[in-house]
Protein backbone atom coordinates (compact mmCIF):
# COMPACT_ATOMS: atom_id res chain seq x y z
CA UNK A 1 0.00 0.00 0.00
CA UNK A 2 1.49 3.24 -1.06
CA UNK A 3 0.75 5.60 1.65
CA UNK A 4 2.08 8.47 -0.32
CA UNK A 5 -0.19 7.91 -3.25
CA UNK A 6 -3.18 7.90 -1.03
CA UNK A 7 -4.65 11.30 -0.19
CA UNK A 8 -4.77 12.42 3.43
CA UNK A 9 -8.45 12.55 4.47
CA UNK A 10 -9.94 16.00 5.05
CA UNK A 11 -10.80 15.28 8.65
CA UNK A 12 -7.15 15.08 9.56
CA UNK A 13 -6.51 18.59 8.28
CA UNK A 14 -9.50 19.92 10.15
CA UNK A 15 -8.49 18.12 13.30
CA UNK A 16 -4.99 19.59 13.04
CA UNK A 17 -6.54 23.02 12.51
CA UNK A 18 -8.77 22.59 15.56
CA UNK A 19 -5.85 21.43 17.73
CA UNK A 20 -3.71 24.35 16.62
CA UNK A 21 -6.59 26.78 17.31
CA UNK A 22 -7.20 25.29 20.75
CA UNK A 23 -3.49 25.59 21.55
CA UNK A 24 -3.66 29.21 20.49
CA UNK A 25 -6.69 29.91 22.70
CA UNK A 26 -5.12 28.27 25.71
CA UNK A 27 -1.90 30.13 25.21
CA UNK A 28 -3.85 33.35 24.77
CA UNK A 29 -5.61 32.75 28.05
CA UNK A 30 -2.89 31.46 30.32
CA UNK A 31 0.36 32.99 29.14
CA UNK A 32 1.69 36.01 30.96
CA UNK A 33 4.29 37.23 28.56
CA UNK A 34 2.82 39.70 26.10
CA UNK A 35 4.93 38.30 23.23
CA UNK A 36 3.72 34.78 23.89
CA UNK A 37 0.11 36.01 23.94
CA UNK A 38 0.80 37.70 20.66
CA UNK A 39 2.26 34.52 19.19
CA UNK A 40 -0.83 32.60 20.33
CA UNK A 41 -2.98 34.98 18.33
CA UNK A 42 -0.82 34.33 15.28
CA UNK A 43 -1.23 30.62 15.91
CA UNK A 44 -5.02 30.94 15.93
CA UNK A 45 -4.92 32.91 12.70
CA UNK A 46 -2.84 30.29 11.03
CA UNK A 47 -5.10 27.50 12.28
CA UNK A 48 -7.98 29.25 10.61
CA UNK A 49 -5.89 29.68 7.48
CA UNK A 50 -5.31 25.95 7.42
CA UNK A 51 -9.02 25.15 7.51
CA UNK A 52 -9.63 27.74 4.78
CA UNK A 53 -7.11 26.08 2.50
CA UNK A 54 -8.46 22.64 3.33
CA UNK A 55 -11.98 23.53 2.34
CA UNK A 56 -10.77 25.38 -0.75
CA UNK A 57 -8.95 22.23 -1.87
CA UNK A 58 -11.93 20.04 -1.03
CA UNK A 59 -14.51 22.09 -2.83
CA UNK A 60 -12.20 23.18 -5.63
CA UNK A 61 -12.96 26.79 -4.89
CA UNK A 62 -10.36 29.56 -5.11
CA UNK A 63 -12.17 31.93 -2.77
CA UNK A 64 -10.84 30.26 0.34
CA UNK A 65 -7.25 30.52 -0.89
CA UNK A 66 -7.70 34.19 -1.68
CA UNK A 67 -9.11 34.73 1.75
CA UNK A 68 -5.97 33.21 3.23
CA UNK A 69 -3.93 35.91 1.55
CA UNK A 70 -6.11 38.53 3.15
CA UNK A 71 -5.66 36.97 6.56
CA UNK A 72 -1.88 36.77 6.09
CA UNK A 73 -1.78 40.38 5.05
CA UNK A 74 -3.79 41.49 8.08
CA UNK A 75 -1.60 39.34 10.29
CA UNK A 76 1.51 40.97 8.92
CA UNK A 77 0.12 44.43 9.54
CA UNK A 78 -0.98 43.36 12.98
CA UNK A 79 2.46 42.02 13.71
CA UNK A 80 4.03 45.31 12.76
CA UNK A 81 1.65 47.40 14.88
CA UNK A 82 1.51 44.90 17.71
CA UNK A 83 5.27 44.61 18.03
CA UNK A 84 5.59 48.38 17.98
CA UNK A 85 3.08 48.61 20.84
CA UNK A 86 4.91 45.91 22.75
CA UNK A 87 8.21 47.77 22.41
CA UNK A 88 6.53 50.99 23.55
CA UNK A 89 4.98 49.24 26.53
CA UNK A 90 8.29 47.66 27.46
CA UNK A 91 10.08 50.99 27.30
CA UNK A 92 7.49 52.58 29.53
CA UNK A 93 6.96 49.82 32.09
CA UNK A 94 10.08 47.68 31.80
CA UNK A 95 7.89 44.61 31.92
CA UNK A 96 5.80 42.56 29.57
CA UNK A 97 3.70 40.69 32.14
CA UNK A 98 0.09 41.21 31.09
CA UNK A 99 -1.34 41.27 34.60
CA UNK A 100 0.89 44.21 35.44
CA UNK A 101 -0.12 46.21 32.44
CA UNK A 102 -3.47 47.31 33.87
CA UNK A 103 -3.31 51.09 33.88
CA UNK A 104 -6.63 51.28 32.02
CA UNK A 105 -8.41 49.84 35.01
CA UNK A 106 -11.04 52.01 36.59
Contact residues for other proteins, defined by CB under 8 A? 25, 28-30, 37, 98-99, 101-106
Taking a C-beta distance cutoff of 8 angstroms, is the pair 44, 77 a contact?
no
Best CA proximity match to 97, nearest among 35, 29, 27: 35
CA distances from 37 to 42, 86, 88, 105 (A): 9, 11, 16, 20
Q: Which is closer to other proteins, CB of 94 or CB of 104?
A: 104
CB of 29 to other proteins, least distance (A): 6
Q: Which is closer to other proteins, CB of 31 or CB of 57?
A: 31
CB of 37 to other proteins, least distance (A): 8
Amino acid sequence: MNLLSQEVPISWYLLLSAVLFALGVVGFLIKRNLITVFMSIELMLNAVNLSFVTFAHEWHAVKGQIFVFFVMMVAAAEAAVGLAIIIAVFRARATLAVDRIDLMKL
